[in-house]
Amino acid sequence: MYRKIFISIIIITQLSVIRSFCNNPGKDSLLYIKNFSAGLNTNLDSLINLWYLQNAIKTDYSSNSGDSVSNIPEFHDSVYIDRLQRIPSVVELSYNKIVRNYIHVYTKKQREGVENMIGLSDYYFPKIEEIFEGYGLPTELKYMAVIESALNPRAVSRVGATGMWQFMYGTARMYDLTVNSFVDERRDPIKSAHAAALFMKDLYAMFNDWTLVIAAYNCGPGNVNKAIRRTGGKRDFWQIYYHLPRETRGYVPAYIAATYTFNYYKEHNLTPEFPEIPIATDTILISDNLHLKQVSEVLNIPLKALRDLNPQYKQNIIPAKESSFPLTIPLEYIGSFIDLQDSVFNYKKSVYFNADNTIKNPQKSYYVPQAPTNRNKLIYTVKSGDNLGFISSWYNVRASDIRYWNNIRGNMIRVGQKLNIYVPKGSSAKYASVNSLSFEEKQKRIGKNTSRPEEINTQPQDNNYVYYKVRYGDTLWEIAKKYSDVTENDIMKLNNIRSGKSLKAGQYIKIKPKG
């Protein structure tokens, strides 16, 4: 009896939270929906330019552009609620006005692009499902790719997050994606899906809640942990909603709306536009340098088709001399490639490669991040005691953005290092003086403690353990990623700490037993 009463209280509490969102969606949410719709439209416009969508659509893309209002159904809230409850999902699919507004983005405002996405999902979703199933993830998390990129492998955000799963440079390297002048595996639909699965698996180990995993994928685990702490330990997305970044408040409702749309598109008179060519492909492992033009001209495959099927090769070159890379081509050309392999590799070889088969006139071998649009560039010179957390707060940008803009892996910065900082257009004057201020003045500007944190000096106490010396700005999650088979929780248990907030620069912490 008491258990039933307790469950009833939980249900009433959850309903009251959701009801509050139904009545008060908030200006922030409506603004993000507007921005989300614009971003989705940009990704869809880019998606439509793919060769295989331009050439393999069965019907005219513009055929539905004249949909009348009467042909676009809209349903009562009770219908949406019932349909969401019928979708098999371990991710909770709540419903409120915010979710409904996102459903309208997909089913009313972006109908043409969504029809292409639904058709294209026949190519990508089976591959993603197989990968997620292999990692023990709920396969319905595939819909996150719709929110992230509109299933566009070439999508690039304003801060440089790239690919179908929108990885920043630092996170991509953390999950073993190659990013250099020739290859960007964030744009490889298969390898990036493996990385996304590993990232989600790590996030689930932290939060044990798939909705929070979706939120943390968008804004990072640190922001979700902050929201949990600020609400006294509550771990329900809707209860920590107002303590999350504005973008993340819209991310989970957008995910729910995408899940709904892909399951009930027929009820909204949406007709998938199925591309035929990319579904019938095969992959060959290349073990020597190869230019896509060599393949294109010998096998008579349009170069744009090859580029779109292999979006990870930034300069049309597969740099496979030292390590193998995959080449995806239409299935009908596989036999020809095998039969003419020697001819393909030797065709105009001297045009693209040197006598020793190295790449002619290679660009810089390191990755050069793209400058974001609609932002002004400032330079900050690192001072003694600075860390990325401090610098990001002084300029009101994310630490991950600073890493990307400056090609930084991890949190290591050095005194005297020049950092590129991009601030919103028109705000340069506001931040121009930051570089010349003292630490105390910079902290005072943002209303923070003006005393510089002291670095403590400890030494390893037990030779039976592997230790790590904490640096300024380190988090438990980032430390754990440096070691195989080590999680954030493992470190907390070994060191008898409750969170990463207790970490101090200079401190040695146990990582795992030796041997």
Locate all alpha helices (DSSP H) within 135-235, ordered by sequence.
Answer: 144-149, 169-174, 189-207, 210-219, 221-230
Cα–Cα nearest to 241, from 262, 260, 219, 261? 219
For 24-268, CATH gives 1.10.530.10
Domain 24-268 shares a fold with domain 375-445: no
Domain boundaries, the chain: 24-268, 281-352, 375-445, 465-513
Distance of CA 332 to the CA centre of its chain: 33
Return the amino acid letter for 7.
Answer: I
Q: What is the pLDDT of residues 87-105, one digit of tens each?
A: 999 999 999 998 999 999 8
Domain 375-445 belongs in CATH node 3.10.350.10:
yes
For the chain, residues with pLDDT lower than 50 are 1-23, 25, 56-66, 363-366
Cα–Cα nearest to 311, from 197, 145, 194, 152? 152
CB 510 within 8 A of CB 465: yes
As given in the structure block, the two tokens for residue 73 are 């159904």
Residues 96 and 254: their CA atoms lie apart, in Å, by 12
- pTM here? 0.65
Angle at 473 between CA 472 and CA 474, to 5 degrees: 95
Rg, Å, the chain Cα set: 25
Locate all alpha helices (DSSP H) within 273-346, ordered by sequence.
Answer: 292-299, 303-309, 334-339, 341-346
CB 85 within 8 A of CB 93: yes
pLDDT value for 58: 40
DSSP state, residue 288: S
Q: What is the pLDDT of residues 130-150, one digit of tens each?
A: 999 999 999 999 999 999 998
pLDDT value for 385: 74
Residues 320 and 183: their CA atoms lie apart, in Å, by 10
Beta carbons within 10 angstroms of residue 417's beta carbon: 14
Q: What is the pLDDT of residues 196-243, one digit of tens each?
A: 999 999 999 999 999 999 999 998 898 999 999 999 999 999 999 999
Q: 465-513: which CATH architecture?
A: Roll (3.10)
pLDDT value for 28: 54
Question: 453 by DSSP, 3-state: which?
Answer: coil
| Burial of residue 389 (number of CB atoms within 10 Å: 0-12, 13-18, 19+) | middle
